Amino acid sequence: MTTTVLDAVVRLLRDTGMTTVFGNPGSTELRMFRNWPDDFTYVLGLQESSAVAMAAGHALGTGRAAFVSLHSAGGVGHALGAVFNAHRDRVPLVIVAGQQARSLLQLRPFLGADEPDQFPRPYVKSARQPARAADVPAVLAEMHRIAMTPPRGPVFVSVPEDDWDQAAEPVEPRTVHSGYTADPDALAALAARLDTCARPALVIGPGVDDEAALPEAVALAERLRAAVWISPMSGRSGFPESHPYFQGFLPPVAGQLATRLEPYDVVVSLGAPVFTYHVADDSPPLAPGTELFHLDCDPAQAPWLPTGTSLVTTLRPALAQLTALVRRSDREPPPARRQPAPVTAGEDLTPELVLDQLHRRLPRDRVLVEETPSHRDALHARVPINLSGGFLTTGSGALGWGLPLAVGRALADRRRVVCVLGDGSALYSVQALWTAVRHRAPVTFIVLDNGGYAAVGALGRRIGITPVPGTDIGDIDFTGLAASFGCQADYADRPADLARALDRAVTSLGDDDGPHLLHLRVTGTEGVLYEPWTG
């Protein structure tokens, strides 16, 4: 019996653990679904960007690459915002897009993609349309290995729709051991500098969480008695925020960031872009006298850094070696992080009150997904994360990521996820509620509704633009919208109703219950971002 491309790909997907397929099907993908295997799960997203974000959440939860099926050129175009996020956040995805039949490509057919391997670049690690149908399984196997090799990320394959029925050879599984370590002499030099410095600090980037290196980062911080910060706009956590050495989150503004790091003579950045800025100013990246070392697995990060010394390395082996090389320090430990005062209930339902009460109810092992740009700083200050893999957001800024990301993350291990969203963010991908209901994803969605894109308005005011057009939304009935998708929902706009609503949405729901949305109309906010500055 002849083995087809489809037969070989199905076997490859089983071998690589990619039996949950996320997508939105169309005519150019139909042949891929012939005799769909009983042991595969198809997770339908009602829009392609939601399908990609759900796949990303699943990949982050399982630690394996996720498989995504997109519909031709239009589907790839719809999905590119989420592909951009996956690329910047180093999420391993194998993305396959349908293409018209090879015999039609010269005729510029309906739904055909011109230069399909160029379309998603530069936001994929690699992109191909195989030269022959028989090459499709081998190309997909290679792409899977590329996606999973540090720095991990999405890859893309365009498959003409008539390839699936053609003959092809099966692909044997391969193993790639991808951990690698910096030059021993470079690590020894860094250890020597850390032994002689007076005030060291670590900057924890998303790479620490991505490489499951949190224990190694904690061990190094404790051996050095170093202050610990989270890198600007990080899509992960990477360090227990209740640890006495934890200092907070660096702002994405050069002057403010340099001020935060000015007390330290040596700063070691671990798995972070150095540095991610959101607002331009004329400040240098670091104050004079602060020396920077940068450890990351991506060789593309090292050349463009404006200052410091880079060590290209994966983190777990490098941190283990570095911790063994440095002397245990007896220097004074860093001061304790200043905690915000608890908010007392008044007449208004404020984001700070919501977040304080959420913190009291959030179990330590609960994964928190965030996409509320106006209130991210308040969330970081009031809801500490101590769990490896316990915090997910977008580190790149394309909205619509959080809601479907939470759905995919919940489907990865069927443990309840709490997702805190802004109203503007939720509306980018609200159709993912349908998928959450269909698969009974255990997610609690908390929508902090401030009536618009308050973060954009705040940035506008700081550069003298007021009012900012197009930033008001308001009057969206999220409970009715959720109910239309079959999702249970509650609403509150008074402090007196908050405890009951959070108890129902967070405390009383278990992992076997389906999704629930809590719509909270919050006031007393103008979209505060970072801290006030002059520019």
Is residue 54 one of the residues assigned to a domain?
A: yes
In this structure, the answer to whether residues 356 and 443 fall within a common structural domain is yes
Give me the chain's average pLDDT, please: 92
Is residue 132 one of the residues assigned to a domain?
A: yes
Under the banding of pLDDT at 50, 70 and 90, the label for residue 524 is low
In this structure, the answer to whether residues 159 and 188 fall within a common structural domain is no
Under the banding of pLDDT at 50, 70 and 90, the label for residue 44 is very high
pLDDT at 525: 58
At 459, which CATH number?
3.40.50.970
Cis peptide before 467 (omega within 30 of 0): yes
pLDDT at 456: 76
Domain boundary among 260, 290, 325: 325
Is residue 338 one of the residues assigned to a domain?
A: no
Q: By the 8 A CB rule, do 377 and 249 touch?
A: yes
In this structure, the answer to whether residues 248 and 125 fall within a common structural domain is no
Active site residue 460: no
pLDDT tens per residue across span 87-100 = 999 999 999 999 98
Active site residue 27: yes
Q: By the 8 A CB rule, do 237 and 301 touch?
A: no
pLDDT tens per residue across span 485-497 = 999 999 999 999 9
Question: Is 60 exceeded by the pLDDT of residue 533?
Answer: no
Question: Is 80 exceeded by the pLDDT of residue 531?
Answer: no
- C-alpha distances in Å from residue 197, one per residue of 55, 228, 290, 330, 397: 44, 15, 11, 12, 36
At 272, which CATH number?
3.40.50.1220
Question: Is 70 exceeded by the pLDDT of residue 164?
Answer: yes
In this structure, the answer to whether residues 160 and 193 fall within a common structural domain is no
In this structure, the answer to whether residues 159 and 11 fall within a common structural domain is yes
Q: Which of the following is catalytic: 17, 63, 248, 397?
A: 397
Question: Is 70 exceeded by the pLDDT of residue 530?
Answer: no
Q: Which of the following is catalytic: 45, 49, 58, 71?
A: 71
Active site residue 291: no
Q: Decide which of 531 and 79 is more confident.
A: 79
Q: Which of the following is catalytic: 48, 161, 241, 370?
A: 48
In this structure, the answer to whether residues 296 and 374 fall within a common structural domain is no
Tokens of residue 10, six digits: 């199905």
What is the domain extent for residue 238? Answer: 184-325
Label each residue of 87-127 as H, E or C: HHCCCCEEEEEEECCHHHHHHCCCCCCCCCCCCCCCCCCCE
Mean pLDDT lowest among 322-326, 349-353, 372-376, 495-499: 372-376
Question: Is 60 exceeded by the pLDDT of residue 146?
Answer: yes
In this structure, the answer to whether residues 241 and 381 fall within a common structural domain is no
Question: Is 60 exceeded by the pLDDT of residue 529?
Answer: no
Active site residue 71: yes
Amino acid (one-letter) located at 41:
T
d(CA 430, CA 487): 11
How many C-beta atoms lie closer than 10 Å to residue 514's C-beta?
Answer: 16
Active site residue 75: no
pLDDT at 527: 47
d(CA 322, CA 302): 19
In this structure, the answer to whether residues 160 and 192 fall within a common structural domain is no
In this structure, the answer to whether residues 310 and 380 fall within a common structural domain is no
Active site residue 242: no
Active site residue 370: no
In this structure, the answer to whether residues 9 and 157 fall within a common structural domain is yes
Element (DSSP H or E) covering residue 78:
helix 72-88
In this structure, the answer to whether residues 192 and 161 fall within a common structural domain is no
Q: Which of the following is catalytic: 23, 26, 457, 527?
A: 26
In this structure, the answer to whether residues 226 and 148 fall within a common structural domain is no
pLDDT tens per residue across span 403-436 = 999 999 999 999 999 999 999 999 999 999 999 9
Is residue 480 one of the residues assigned to a domain?
A: yes
**Number of independent structural domains in the chain:** 3
pLDDT tens per residue across span 298-345 = 998 888 777 899 999 999 999 999 999 999 999 999 999 988 888 887
Is residue 34 one of the residues assigned to a domain?
A: yes
Q: Which of the following is catalytic: 74, 77, 222, 278?
A: 278
Domain boundary among 137, 165, 193: 165
Q: Which of the following is catalytic: 23, 29, 61, 211?
A: 29
Is residue 452 one of the residues assigned to a domain?
A: yes
Q: By the 8 A CB rule, do 55 and 408 touch?
A: yes
Share of the chain above pLDDT 70, in %: 97
Is residue 334 one of the residues assigned to a domain?
A: no
Question: Is 50 exceeded by the pLDDT of residue 501?
Answer: yes
The reply to whether the predicted model has a pTM over 0.75 is yes
